[in-house]
Structure 1
Amino acid sequence: MTRAETRIKVFGAAIELIAEQGYAATTVDAIAERAGVAKGTVFYNFGTKEALFTALLEHSIERLADALGQAAVGDTGLAALDATVRGQLEFFEQYGAFARVLLAEMWRTAWQEAVAKLRSQVLGVYTDVLRRAVAEGAVRHDLDVETAATAIFGMVLTVAIERRALHPGRPLDETHRTLVELLHGRVR
């Protein structure tokens, strides 16, 4: 197994455990056991539990930013916004544990660098599509796009978690349609 493969395996185990029991309760021993690697392998690859979590956040945020960037396409700014919402829902459908960790753990002071990365890379996708929609006249010209981007991301994150936990049978299309209808009504 390559070092990159080992890191991905450890990331998967860590994100599951942290989503299940929280960062503080998750031990390196438990992560290593779940990943099927020696505890020393975790320390060799990351140094500390904190460094592992930082690397995990950075890796996951990059994947989310890539997914949203690829989704943010459309003939209009509003179409790109709708596609970005869909991309975020699909990402969290696949990576639900990361959604829970993101909501519960990363807002602590220790992870401010990761929060800054989230703001610039992930929320930047929403900001860009909202600016496009403003420029096209589809969204009111006085919209605070940075705050709106944060609100939209948070809304979609919360709904994605709630859907997986309480309504796993609800079709993703139905959830997406409801979110888009809410957004269109507010940003215009």
Structure 2
Amino acid sequence: MDSSSTRRRNTRRKLFEAAVTLIAEQGFSSTTVDEIAERAGVAKGTVYYNFASKTVLFEELLRDGVELLTVSLQRAADDTAARGGGRVDALDAMVRAGLEFIARHPALAQLYAAELWRTNRAWQPTLTRVRQKAVAVIESVLRQAVAEDELSPEVDVPLTASAAFGMVLVAALDWQAFQPERSVDDVHAALSRLLRSGVGQGVR
């Protein structure tokens, strides 16, 4: 990658970080492009050079963030498989990866949770698509577990995948907001027991 591409990528990352922090603090409508530029340490024109509007910036921010989460989930599943772990172990590793991701990006997770239900937003179709990509990673592991007889074919794969995704998101946000003194190990252990107990109902 050449130096200009690296600079542009770094600039966009600064703008994403500034925007997600400001919008989490004061809302989308109240956040101005001037404020985003100032927080990112760039000129206002730089924002418009990289994004056509504040709406486009926010849409790409959400897409970029959820895609990064998807990569983290997939990597956790792949690493577990490489170590010879089972599919339920892979699900557990994905729970851990999700918690660690949200701990690193709490403001992004807050925005995602808030925007998911606002169906009148311009970026809602994009958010729905990237969410489905993340859930599809979990679905894939569940389907493999069923195919390999780790789980019963009676397991409702789409609903179980969505439930696991939602469990991690809500539990992580609650942890960050109301129980920040707890470690990621502690939270993961609690969710792991819940996951294994729930999925265990369908273990062959």
CA RMSD of aligned residues (A): 1.5
Q: 2:184 aligned to 164, 172, 182, which one?
A: 172
* Other-structure match for 1:78: 88
Q: 1:99 aligned to 100, 109, 123, which one?
A: 109
Secondary structure of the residue that 1:126 maps to in structure 2?
helix
Structure with bigger gyration radius: 2
What displacement does 1:96 show?
A: 0.9
Question: How far apart are the structure 1 equivalents of 2:31 and 2:153?
Answer: 46
TM-score (norm 1): 0.93
Question: How far apart are the structure 2 equivalents of 1:178 and 1:136?
Answer: 27
What displacement does 1:7 show?
A: 0.6
Question: How far apart are the structure 1 equivalents of 2:139 and 2:28?
Answer: 30
Question: How far apart are the structure 2 equivalents of 1:174 and 1:106?
Answer: 27
Q: What 5-or-longer segments of structure 2 have no aligned partner? A: 1-5
Question: How far apart are the structure 2 equivalents of 1:106 and 1:33?
Answer: 28
Amino acid at match of 1:69: Q
* Other-structure match for 2:9: 4
Is 1:129 the counterpart of 2:157 in the alignment?
no
Question: How far apart are the structure 2 equivalents of 1:4 and 1:175?
Answer: 33
Is 1:161 the counterpart of 2:173 in the alignment?
yes
Q: 2:127 aligned to 114, 127, 130, which one?
A: 114
Q: What 5-or-longer segments of structure 1 have no aligned partner? A: none
* Other-structure match for 2:26: 21
TM-score (norm 2): 0.86
What aligned pairs does 1:51-66 form with structure 2 within 5 A after superposition? Answer: 51-66=56-71
Q: 1:41 aligned to 46, 61, 80, which one?
A: 46
Number of residue-to-residue matches in the alignment: 187
